[in-house]
Structure 1
Amino acid sequence: MQPELCKNCHEVHQGNFCNHCGQKTKTARLDWHYIKDEANYTFLHFNKGFLYTVRELFTRPGDTIREFLEGKRVRHYKPLLLVFVLAGLNGLIASQVNMKEALTQMDFGNGMNKAQQAAFMNEYLKCVKWFFGHWSLIEVLALPLVSFASWLSFKKWGYNFIENIIINCFAAGQRLVFSIFSSAIYLIFPSSFMSKFSVFASLITFGLTIWTYADLYKHKEGSAVMLRIALFIFLLFVIALLLLVIFSIIFVIYLKKTGKI
């Protein structure tokens, strides 16, 4: 086989791929054959990577994550990309849910007249829609905080901070799949059903996280695992509470400055 010049990096190479940049040697003119090959690759990559990873996360989450960390990765969808795709899909479906009708069942009337209640409701609804519209960004920004909590809780058992980010990418992907299912339920059933089902959905989501971590560390002593899971949940609660307080203060300051309350 004669040496060839790579059309991408202009380095001399032999074989089907450039050993400098990885581009294919054969780069024929773009035509319908190219579109067919790309479509086949995209579908197979989605089917064999994405769907395989989702299935594994709901059948053997701890083993799947452990194997990925140990190097068994070729069949899996990339963890961070998994979060982006699922969070975007979840945000898209959730944005179609009639949040206004559901929120009207909540009591925001402490010390407010009707006009203030209406203004508060409109601004609150805008915030909720913004969160769902940027859910991919929120999930990614939350990863370092969640991973710090898990790293601190399970630090003794060897996984570093970056590995904890990967662990929580998979855990987030698992929760997001269930969240997509929940959002679809909200679209089908009336909003009065939302408040009842949301409690059940929250418990399931909570349970999925516990199951994932318990399965990941199932080779450790059971009491030690549960103790560290309890610490992890406590740290998550503290982080969530701090973020809620910060967000609430910013939201109230915004409402006061704009004369909404």
Structure 2
Amino acid sequence: MDFKYIKFIDHGEWLEIRLNRPEIFNAIHKELLMELFSAFDRVENHSKCRCVVLSGEGKAFCSGQDLKVLKESYEDIPIKEFIKKYYNPLIIKIRSIKLPVIAKINGPAVGAGCALALATDLVLVCKEAYLAFNFIQIGLVPDAGTSFFLLRRVGYSKAFELTTTGRKVFGEEAEIMGLVDRCVEASELDELVKHYVEHYSSAPEMALKLIKQGLNKSLEMNLDQVLEMEAEHQNKAGSSDEFAEGIRAFNEKRSPNFGKNKRA
């Protein structure tokens, strides 16, 4: 699939998927959602990739659903069916990718743009950027997994406040409340992303995959189930070549080489 509304940039050990409608702040429409799904589908078949960065071209990350095309393009498609056909599969796809997915928020992330960011594993922002769950301002409710991810990041009271006011939460406040993971000056954002990309590119892939899988599954488990899952995952990790290399490196007092470009 050729991409028109996103950029798929191959950096070898990591991939960048960049929303590419900068003239309207990377607003989302059906075609962009389809391209995003295809791009993340391609990630799963990329043999060298160890990390994915989701970003936005220009001054914004994503301004949310493109409302100007709704009446023209979607008038015969029920909202429920549109969400279930285009948004929901994409959110599940992002969350199920075995590799770490980083959201790079360089500017506004609004509405569905927030949903895309929160579906990733790590959200990095600059101080000037803001997130706004502004669904209520057009008479709608949060969708695309917002209720799920936001509640787990900030708790009920703050999630209620943010979704019922739709106010802007700028970088520093977002980091303090746990809405995002790291906030830096705009001039430092690229370097921060690079730091995490390099870390994940040299980390043990089997362990990363199992950590992500375990954290996701544990949200719906009780303690007994989590303990059982952890034992199973530890058995898998402990049987890997990466664990053997980690032990050798520890005993030899050197940094481990977890086999870059090799899928666990």
Scaled by the length of structure 2, the TM-score of the pair is 0.27
Tell me: higher relative CO, structure 1 or 2? Use CA pairs within 8 A at least 6 residues apart: 1
Scaled by the length of structure 1, the TM-score of the pair is 0.27
**Greater per-residue helix proportion:** 1
Quick check: which has more Rg, 1 or 2?
A: 1
**Greater per-residue strand proportion:** 2
